Structure 1
Amino acid sequence: MTRPQFSSRLLATAALGALLLGAPAALLAAKENTARAEAKASAKPEIGSYGFDASGMDTTVLPGDDFYAYANGAWAKNTAIPADKSNYGMFTALADLSQKRTQEILEAAKSNPDSMIGRSYASYLDAATVEAKGLAPIEPWLAKVRSVDKAGLAKLLAEADRNGVQHFFGGYVGQDDRNPDVYIYSLYQGGIGMPDRDFYLKDGERNTKLQAAYLQHLQNVLTLAGEANAAARAQAIYDFEKQIAAVHWDKNDSSDAVKIYNKMTIAELAKAAPGFDWATFIRGVGVEEDSLLIAQPSAFTGEAKLIADAPIGVIRDLLLVRSLDSFSDVLPDAVAKEAFAFYGTALSGTPEMQERWKRAVDFTTNNMGEAVGQDYVAKYFTPETKAEMDKLVKNVIAALGDRIDNLTWMQPETKVRARAKLANFTTKIGYPDKWKDYSKLEIRADDLFGNALRANQFAHDDNISRLGGPIRRWEWAMTPMTVNAYANFSMNEIVFPAAILQPPFFDPHADPAINYGGIGAVIGHEISHHFDDQGAKYDESGKLADWWTPEDVAAFEAAGKALVAQYDAYEILPGEHLDGTFTLGENIGDLAGLTIAYDAYKKSLGGKEAPVIDGMTGDQRFFLGWAQVWRRNYREQNLSQRITTDPHSPSIQRTWVSRNLDPWYKAYGVKEGQKLYLAPEDRVRIW
């Protein structure tokens, strides 16, 4: 991986200074290394005395009763959720910092007419021009929607796909899971405006309120589009969407890598899902190959029939609503506020929209993230951080390797394959080796809607252009400014953007226990995703394949069922429990990640005991580092929505995964009778 741009300039300047002064290069290098070592030794952690905010603890709570409250209770009590957020915690605090830093970059770029990111940012800030244009920019597209007939629907939906308008199904080009050296076009179910089929099909007071709010939203958007008789037409859209929801696969089946791998030709899809012109649609989006992956075949069968049977007026109206919703953030405030009223407030509980400058930052980073990212990493990502992360990653990978060697339930031949998979990992830290080229994207300072449309088309065309070409192993799925990390099964890689590599997750000057409990466990989480309930189905080459013995599968599934039961038992809101099956992969990631990070931490001590700092042992600090990164407060609506749609458990329950680790009991003297206590035989152990 190349160095950030700013470090290259600094190195060049340093070399030039040495030549001008005539000093021996080796002597200068030695002095520089000494200065860096002294600076590192004297530097203090950004948070607290050792990297943990002890003021956020509630020590009146026993760790064994509620470890989250013990580590984070005072923080939770004293931290308000900002009005423009549905939840607030360490991730959002860093996202705010990243957003502010990006704003500074874009403000500087705004005055340069040659800067693409500056023009993009300026176009979003120019609210007066957006209001003056009204719906005129989108009217040509809306006219197409209003006039489409059944014969022309497939062609229109292909154009909608390229324009970024959501409709009855979605498609993208990605690696073929069973042949990861080849790209293939995949289709997945769509057609509903709420996030999941359960919002339409499950009873309950909260869902009833959401259904009413969504029906009102449909009516309001039709009215904004200038349509008459909006109430009756909205009801017709809702009834149609409910029928679509009924044929959708549920979230558990849709998350199963084997179940959603269904290869078909276009002719086979047409036979399996008659009633829609699949060939025209697929060729229209730019796909020339004949092989496809269909994620949920029966849903496509059902949707094709529903589309064929539905009145064209209902289809037009649904697409009108989807069009305005899809572009709501670049249209006049009346449209933007209506979309936010449902998706922001009704669904997630967020009282206020973000300020326009924040949305302008997000708009630009969403469309040209790597163009912004080059400036971001040059200013905010240091070589020291990357070097320290490299060490941490190697230590955590080594710890998992040791775990694999010592597993009692895994067969020797499977261990060989697991070791090979571990050896084949690619780790990406901070930013891409190769930046995406946006030179073919046209951005104008006075054309916000046009910028959004062209950016969608650019992204679509870029995605489709993968077909027939080599695998782009340099590509990233997140920008450097993203506070997150991910595992890519087909690439056999783990990826850590620059923005997450800072306190409280990682601080080169913090106590190692905090770093291992924070970013170390995140590293372990992403590594272990490659061995979770879905990732374990991919071999060392990234291929979806059976490489475990039946005995391995049985042992692994038994441990998984125990973890499912543990999380099924958590009642997050009255009457609303976690779905342990849906969250299994992420829960395995947390359990395994924390386990192997602990091993890596202990190994880093070289057989010595960690010092006691502020009355806390090394093991206590390690688990506090884990708990600290999960500080988060939720609005009730957001928490309820997450139970249905988010494969991650809420932050409290993520913290509680420590109850499965024996060292946690020893560190805090957790005893039988305390609420989180599990008998040794009931503690879930997988890796």
Structure 2
Amino acid sequence: MKTKLSLGVPVLAGSLLLFAGFQAIKTEDPPKSGIIVSNMDKQVRPGNNFMNYVNGTWIKNTEIPADKPAYSVGAMVSDKAQEDVKAIIEKAASGKFAPGSEEQKIGDLYGSYMNTAARDAIGVKPLAADLKKINDLKNYDELASYFAYASKIGNMVPFSVGVSEDFKDPSNYMLLTWQGGLGLPEREYYFKTDEKSKEIRTKYVIHIEKMLTLAGISGGKVKASEIMALETLLASKQMKKEETRNIAGLYNKYGVSQLKTLMPDFNWTALLTEAGIKKPDSLVIAQVQYTKDLNAIIKETPISTWKTYLQWSLVNGAASALNTALDVENFNFNGTILNGVPQQRPQWRRAVGVVNGSLGEMVGKLYVEQHFSPAAKARMLELVGNLLKAYEQSIKGLDWMSETTKQEALKKISKFTPKIGYPDKWRDYSTLKIVKDDLYGNLTRSTAFEYNRMIAKLGKPVDRSEWGMTPQTVNAYYNPPLNEIVFPAAILQPPFFDMNADDAVNYGGIGAVIGHEIGHGFDDQGSTFDGDGVMRNWWTKSDLDEFKKRTNSLVAQYNGFEVMKDLHVNGEFTLGENIGDLGGLTIALKAYHASLDGKKAPVLDGFTGDQRVFLGWGQVWLNKSRAEALRNQVGTDPHSPARFRVNGVVRNIPEFYTAFDVKPGDSLYLAPDKRVENLVKFRLLNIKIPLSDNSGSGIFYVQ
């Protein structure tokens, strides 16, 4: 059982946004530049490595903390934020509160994680009922039912069924299937032939054996080999991550009576009944061929092997909620082997993460009361409006786009819905039972609570007020069927926004972040959703062909970026987010120019206005990562590593060349005809089946 956590890190909320129209911020004292000059390495030529120019001294002098895969701006604000969230939690945990109250739930969930002695005394006893349920499976009909049960408590199974807005009817919900069931991070981990990948596979099998043995399950060595073989077979039939980015190709609606054409030997009725889905009329099958292939895999794999696999799924999902021995072994593989992290985060930080994951909006409500004001929400709405205006102006000025497509794009811009800070109504956790010193039970019930909340949406109109991230999350996202951009409270702080700094660095920070999310509504996938969130193609063929031609150039650029000797960025997989970064910074620069209203920008700390916009962008991606974490990121994350989010973007923007005197011969120099400019940007969605929330993938990779 694994409770689904939000895609981001909880942090302390920050400053108010003081943008008004396209006017500059007015302060009584002369503004500071907002540039962290001490982080810079001015010995580096900006045109050779802009990331190092902006952050090089910090990179050279910083050691990654032992409990982190990477150290970055996000990690820094996360650490401070967790201290503030901890204060909220400990206040709840310190008193005696009525059973069922918010304070009781927050305090007892936190306490159940922190009480190591109680967890070690209980050991693996909480797994007994579920292990019996697995051992009692007699046939494939019962197996189908168990797949649904396992999904409810958050354990991996070959495919899951979830609920999302219907891509073609976004006022209603749809059922959607998604491939799954792999213990390694992604399908390619099972097939890559480099030495590091082979080593990971070998250590994964050893890890499975150790975990089963620690859970009191006999025959670990033989079972580990069985499990690896089955997972490899599942992976061999799954859709590659690059292919899952074709959202139109994922929308394959089947009537319930048609499901037997896909898996004739599978008991769909048993699965849907156990899933709590009453009288469904249809399912959208995201990966059709994989679903067809599953029919033979399921029926040709002995029930005994499926039992072994499901035992592993149960133990793997529960590891961090049981005793110390399982928790440590789980970290040794997932933390150290996969990400190179030598030691776990302090236990209280992990406990804060659990509370945020299970009671996110309950904690978020208290967080907002202390760290975010209504004024901040109003100011942010103004800034979003500024960037929407800049996007509108940019669309009107595109020389390669026809008037027909422009008009559709402008309609879509006019219908964007911004959500700022926190939801207008808070999630109701009254039916979720939290018990003192019952961590496994608490997390199982929490996961089931989110699952049931999701299933209960079926047959009801889409709730447009719902959020997919908590207020204490540093992140942002775009949701195509609702045509909404969402900015939680916690992102509104330095270095994204500094109320005491000159406008330029803020446009390079939060301005480019907003531009990134707005732009997720436009390109070959965003183009399949109109302003009302309906999936339809509103581009002319010639415009779409021209757009693809330009984006193919960006794919080639990023494919050429070497992460390490045996690893390059995957330009196709990261295309949507790379376009997002490029468009976001481009639009932010336009908005900054508009804010000057014809006046000359001041020179601060020796930097011009345009230079400070670019420096502001570079500061956002301050980062130092372990080699293992980078390898994992490239294999699983649609965002490029931080240094390419800086260097890969600025080299395509003409103003960068002027601002920093970039010339032929500089490493980042691209001839004008090689630059990817003037894109209406959009994001290729890397959809994951939402089992407890509707969060999109925002601008940040998970740390």
Distance 1:237 1:263, change over 3 A: same
Q: Is the 8 A contact 1:532 1:589 kept in 2?
A: no
Aligned pair partner of 1:245 in 204, 226, 235: 235
What is the one-letter code of the residue matched to 1:146?
N
Q: Secondary structure of 2:464's match?
A: coil
Partner of 2:656: 664
- Verify the 8 A CA contact 1:266 1:279 in the aligned structure 2: no
Correspondence list, 1:424-439, <5 A: 424-439=415-430
Is 1:455 matched up with 2:446?
A: yes
1:297 aligns with 2:280: no
1:71 paired to 2:26: no
- Give the distance between the partners of 1:423 and 1:528, measured in 2 at CA: 13
Q: Does 1:260 align with 2:250?
A: yes
8 Å contact kept, 1:595–1:661: yes
8 Å Cα contact 2:392/2:410 also seen in 1: yes
Letter in 2 for 1:596: I
Aligned to 1:324: 315
Letter in 2 for 1:208: K
CA distance in 2, matches of 1:593, 1:188: 30
More helix as a share of residues: 1
SS, match of residue 660 in structure 1: coil
User: How does 1:461-476 map onto structure 2 within 5 Å?
Assistant: 461-476=452-467
State yes or no: 1:287 paired with 2:277: yes
Q: Displacement, 1:270?
A: 2.1
Distance 1:376 1:61 in 2: 41
Map 1:35-184 → 2, pairs under 5 A: 41-42=27-28, 49-112=32-95, 113-114=97-98, 115=103, 116-150=105-139, 151-184=141-174
Query: Structure 1 runs of 4+ off > 6 angstroms?
Result: none
- What residue identity is the alignment partner of 1:320? Q
Aligned pair 1:311/2:294, yes or no?
Answer: no
Shift of residue 282, structure 1, vs aligned partner: 1.7
Tell me: CA distance 1:278–1:669, structure 2 relative to 1, closer, same or farther (3 Å): same
Could you list the per-position Cα deviations for residues 426-481 of structure 1 after superposition, in whole angstroms to 9, with x for gaps in the alignment? 10111111110101111112211111111111100000001010111111111111
SS of the equivalent of 1:130 reads helix
3-state DSSP of counterpart to 1:487? strand
Q: Which stretch has the larger CA shift, 157-166 or 193-202?
A: 157-166
2:371 matched residue in structure 1: 380
1:191 and 2:181 matched? yes
> What is the rounded CA distance, in whole Å, between the counterparts of 2:596 and 2:377 in structure 1?
21
Q: Distance in 2 between matches of 1:575 and 1:163?
A: 38
SS of the aligned residue for 2:250 comes to coil
Of residues 181, 190, 195 in structure 2, which corresponds to 1:205? 195
| Gap regions ≥5 residues in structure 1 | 1-38
State the match for 1:637 in structure 2.
628
Check whether the contact 1:488–1:494 (CA below 8 A) recurs between aligned residues: yes
Please tell me the residue identity of whatever aligns with 2:272: I
1:397 maps to what in 2? 388
CA shift for structure 1 position 327? 1.7
Distance 2:295 2:336 in 1: 33
Residue of structure 1 aligned with 2:509, choices 515, 518, 529: 518
Distance 2:435 2:545 in 1: 58
Partner Cα distance (1:390, 1:191) in 2: 41
Task: Say which structure, 1 or 2, has more relative contact order (CA 8 Å, 6+ apart).
Answer: 2
Give the letter aligned to residue 180 of structure 2.
Answer: G
* Code of the aligned partner of 1:228: S
Aligned pair count reads 646
Conserved? CA contact 1:44–1:509, under 8 Å: no
CA distance in 1, matches of 2:265, 2:205: 27
Match of 1:605 in 2: 596
- Contact 1:43 1:509 (C-alpha < 8 Å) held by counterparts: no
Aligned-partner Cα distance in 1 for 2:437–2:217: 28
SS at match of 2:419: strand
Q: Is the 8 A contact 2:368 2:471 kept in 1?
A: yes
Per the TM alignment, residue 42 of structure 1 is displaced from its structure 2 partner at its CA by 4.8
Shift of 1:420: 0.8
Cα distance in 2 between the residues matched to 1:538 and 1:189: 24
Q: Structure 2: how far apart are the matches of 1:40 and 1:609? A: 16
| Structure 1 position 397, deviation (Å) | 0.7
Identity of aligned residues (%): 43
Which of 505, 513, 521 aligns to 2:496? It is 505
SS at match of 2:170: strand
Quote the Cα distance in structure 2 between the aligned partners of 1:603 and 1:149.
69
Q: Structure 1 residue 385: deviation in Å?
A: 3.1
Q: Secondary structure at the match of 1:490?
A: helix
Pick closer, same or farther for the CA change 1:43–1:164 going to 2, 3 Å. Answer: farther
Normalised by the length of structure 1, the TM-score is 0.92
Task: Compute the displacement of 1:169 (Å).
Answer: 1.2
Say whether residues 1:488 and 2:479 are aligned partners: yes
Aligned to 1:278: 268
Return the offset for 1:311: 1.6
Q: Which amino acid aligns with 1:265?
A: G
Tell me the distance in 2 between the aligned counterparts of 1:50 and 1:655.
20
State how far apart, in whole Å, the 1-side matches of 2:607 and 2:585 are.
19
The 3-state SS of whatever aligns with 1:188 is strand
Contact 1:590 1:654 in 2 (8 A): yes
SS at match of 2:500: coil
1:511 CA displacement: 1.3
> What letter matches 2:257 in structure 1?
A
Contact 1:425 1:493 in 2 (8 A): yes
Query: Among residues 632, 637, 652, which one is paired with 1:646 in the alignment?
Result: 637
Deviation per CA, 1:177-231: give whole Å up to 9, x if none. 1111110111100121111110001111110011011111111122122222211
- Give the drift of 1:384: 4.2
The 2-side partners of 1:44 and 1:156 are apart by: 65
Give the CA deviation at 1:662. Answer: 0.7
